[in-house]
Amino acid sequence: MTREFTRRPASLILSTLLLSAASLFPAASATAAAPVQTPVVTGLPDFTDLIDKVGPAVVNIRTTERVTRGQGAPGEEEMQEFLRRFFGGQIPRGRRGVPGQGGQGGASPEEQVTRGVGSGFIISNDGYVLTNAHVVEGADEVTVTLTDRREFKAKVLGADRRSDVALLKLSANNLPYLRTGDSSKIRVGEWVVAIGSPFNLDNTVTAGIISAKSRDTGEYLPLIQSDVAVNPGNSGGPLINMRGEVIGINSQIATLSGAYNGISFAVPIDEVIRVSDQLKTTGKVTRGRLGVQISEVTRDVAESLGLGKARGAEVSMVEAGGPAEKGGIKVGDIILKFNGQPIDTTRDLPRLVGATKVGTRASVTVWRRGAQLDVPVTIVELQDEKTPAARPTPKKPAPGAAPNALGLAVADIPAAQRGELGVDGGVLVENVDGIAATAGIQVGDVISQVGNTPVTGAAQFNALVGKLDPKKPVALLVRRENVTQYVVVKPRQ
């Protein structure tokens, strides 16, 4: 199987989601199991009293910005929301208004035009409102409309793009508000409702069930998946359980067409409250940073390194001068625990690190060259990603140079180039063929480890390859640009 290097996007925008189906026919066991006793479903729920109770606390949010001639026109709010959120695009500047939707041509200089329509909900009687960050992004003015038609100009106290949460404040008191629930206690299959303003249709109610928990669609967010109908304009509205408690903020859809396709996602309310508390206090969200780039540990890699089952997070890159490098974490390490908490999948680590207070001294348990050890690391504040390092340029292979048993022709890396790359050893791939090419290794890659053995030079690398069992797969630690991953080279079947 070819294992390709991929970059993990930072954006939360999702256009489509592919799900793998599990086998419908489990293997038969030696002893027959008793049938599972299931409760009898006797009827569908009645949402009417629930909606009467919670509906008044759900609001419509309109945003405007100042534009000059040629930047756009009023009446584009639904399409702007649709393109920006679900396709990551923008309407071309200069587009004229849509008849019947408030647009009558291009905007004059400094005119205020509507740019977005979304939803939100009040969480306190003194006017704090939660919504999505993308709903208010780029807005010069935010208008909140209640179900009784009262309108307020809202102040944006802060917005966090990573979690897609924003906190607004209205100058009002004695407002209706929603209670928040506990998203850690939700159950797959329980009924939920969404209230919002899809296509600017205020207080539209849709219902469905929770389809899955902890769906991995974001770096820091295990989102709630449901089959509740969510469309452009629903963004920022509440996902509510049958007790009238908010358990999430509707944020994303998975779609092939741009319209609702049976799958929607909500930010869990537990995460929302953690973010909004920081936004209320400081206007921003501070997260911890370890200074590594990680990738998935596959079963083949785990078996090749003697790790057993696939678990942990593979360190693909260590930031120069960052906390991980200062603590002693190295490229190729498999992070198994953070402060004693197991890392089952790659998505666990950024969430644990991000929730750690800046300046905290943490213990990171890693698997390195066949042994487990603890590395102390001081957590710093999360910053923007840096520009990737340049990829080394391979030389042409020497005439007559033959690839080894893996199909690789390699060369020593000059000391000056090792310094630029930040590596102590390794070899540069100058030619690739056979099973190494099938595994995805390319010319220009740097190989720094064979199994659990570090590579010091071309002669030693070829000697290691010569001693490999040709019938067993081997994991090579391969660097491409600034990303390092284990690539498993398998023998031909």
Q: What is the pLDDT along the chain (493 residues), one digit of tens a residue?
A: 444 433 333 333 333 333 333 333 344 444 556 666 666 666 788 899 999 999 999 999 999 877 655 555 444 555 554 444 443 334 333 333 333 333 444 445 556 666 678 999 999 999 999 999 999 988 889 999 999 999 999 999 999 988 899 999 999 999 999 999 999 899 999 999 999 998 888 889 999 999 998 777 655 678 999 999 988 889 999 999 999 999 999 988 776 665 567 788 999 999 999 999 999 999 988 899 999 988 889 898 998 888 888 999 999 888 888 999 999 999 899 999 999 999 988 888 988 998 899 999 999 999 998 899 999 999 999 875 444 444 455 555 444 456 788 889 988 888 777 777 767 788 899 888 888 888 888 888 889 889 888 898 888 998 998 888 888 888 888 888 777 888 888 887 6
Q: 233: annotated binding-site residue?
A: yes
With 0.85 as the threshold, say if the pTM is over it. no
Q: What is the pLDDT of residue 43?
A: 72
Any domain includes 32: no
CA distance 44 to 193: 13
Q: What is the pLDDT of residue 279?
A: 95
Any domain includes 3: no
CA distance 294 to 334: 9
Same domain, 343 and 436: no
Any domain includes 364: yes
Q: What is the pLDDT of residue 413?
A: 86
Is-contact 130 123, C-beta < 8 A?
A: yes
Tell me which amino acid residue 201 is.
L
- CATH number of the domain that residue 140 is part of: 2.40.10.10
Q: What is the pLDDT of residue 259?
A: 59
Long-range contacts of 422-429 (CB under 8 A, 24+ apart): 422/320, 422/389, 423/448, 423/479, 424/454, 425/454, 425/455, 425/456, 425/457, 426/455, 426/479, 427/455, 427/457, 427/458, 427/461, 428/392, 428/394, 428/395, 429/394
Same domain, 160 and 57: yes
Q: Is 483 left (phi over 0), alpha (psi -120 to 50) or beta?
A: beta
Q: What is the pLDDT of residue 100?
A: 33
CA distance 142 to 453: 59
Same domain, 76 and 123: yes
Any domain includes 322: yes
Q: What is the pLDDT of residue 13?
A: 35
Any domain includes 20: no
Same domain, 150 and 71: yes
Is-contact 251 235, C-beta < 8 A?
A: yes
- CATH number of the domain that residue 453 is part of: 2.30.42.10
Q: 234: annotated binding-site residue?
A: yes
CA distance 416 to 404: 26
The last residue of a domain, from among 335, 364, 381: 381
Q: What is the pLDDT of residue 111?
A: 64
Same domain, 224 and 328: no
In terms of residue numbers, what domain contains 196? 181-282
Q: What is the pLDDT of residue 32?
A: 57
Q: Which amino acids are annotated catalytic?
A: 134, 164, 235
Q: What is the pLDDT of residue 5?
A: 39
Give the angle subtended at the CA of 271 by the CAs of 346 and 115, to the nearest 5°: 105
The last residue of a domain, from among 235, 263, 282: 282
Q: How many domains does the chain have?
A: 4
